[in-house]
Amino acid sequence: MFVMNENKIIMKTSLVLLILFLSFSAISQDKLPNISIKDLKNRNVNLVSDFSEKGKTYVFSFWATWCMPCLRELEAIKEHYDEWSEELNMELVAISIDDSRTEKRIRPLVNGRNWPYTILHDKNQKLKRALSIVNIPYTVVVKNNKIEYIFNGYSQGEEEELYQSLKKL
């Protein structure tokens, strides 16, 4: 009986340590990795060179067609996007992590929602792995090639927190 409880404690402790390690490794990264992924026209886009306008803020939002909180977040930001992009000199880049089973849903969903964002597809999830992203929605705010903020998850109204963070930059 004691051995079983001790094994449970060791497993729970190991899980907590793993989660902490993954969280700190994502936070400790201060720059976007120099990785190219595809846009919806199957063209290569390099995150570092294509999104490096000095003084401009880039919001990279990781999402998937099957992730309802992701879709809610992107829709909530869409309501404010024109004014935010003008006022704050920002651009949102929505990066889908859909795999080969769900990638065919990306284009119809994007077309149906009429998003004003740049849409990219991290099909092999190499960018997701490079940033140690565990779950989505996951939002990375970058200015002058430096990661300034990371937001993980979404609840209604959190777009206001994003806006306030963007204003500070």
pLDDT in tens, the chain (169 residues): 545 566 666 566 555 544 545 444 444 568 889 999 999 999 999 999 999 899 999 999 999 999 999 999 999 999 999 999 999 999 999 999 999 999 999 999 999 999 999 999 999 899 999 999 999 999 999 999 899 999 999 989 889 899 899 989 8
How far, in whole angstroms, is CA 7 from its chain's centroid?
35
Predicted local distance difference test score (pLDDT) of residue 26: 44
Q: What is the pLDDT of residue 27?
A: 46
pLDDT the model gives residue 157: 86
In the chain, domain spans: 1-30, 31-168
pLDDT at 74: 96
Residue 104 confidence (pLDDT): 95
Tell me the C-alpha distance between 127 and 96, whole Å. Answer: 11
The secondary structure of the chain in percent helix, strand, coil, rounded to multiples of 5, reads: 45, 20, 30
Quick one: pLDDT at residue 169? Answer: 86
- Reduced to 3 states (helix: H, G, I; strand: E, B; else coil), residue 90 is strand
Contacts of 74 (CB under 8 A, 6+ apart): 61, 63, 94, 113, 115, 117
Q: Which residues are within 8 A (CB) of 40 and not within 5 positions of it... i.e. 6 or more apart? A: 106, 107, 110, 119, 120, 121
Q: How far apart are CA 116 and CA 142, in angstroms?
A: 19
pLDDT for residue 25:
44
CATH 3.10.20.90 fits 31-168, yes or no: no
- The two three-digit tokens of residue 41, written as one number: 């026209």
Looking at residue 151, its pLDDT comes to 92
How far is the C-alpha of 122 from the C-alpha of 10, rounded, in Å? 35
Helix (H, G, I), strand (E, B) or coil at 164: helix
152: β partners: 138
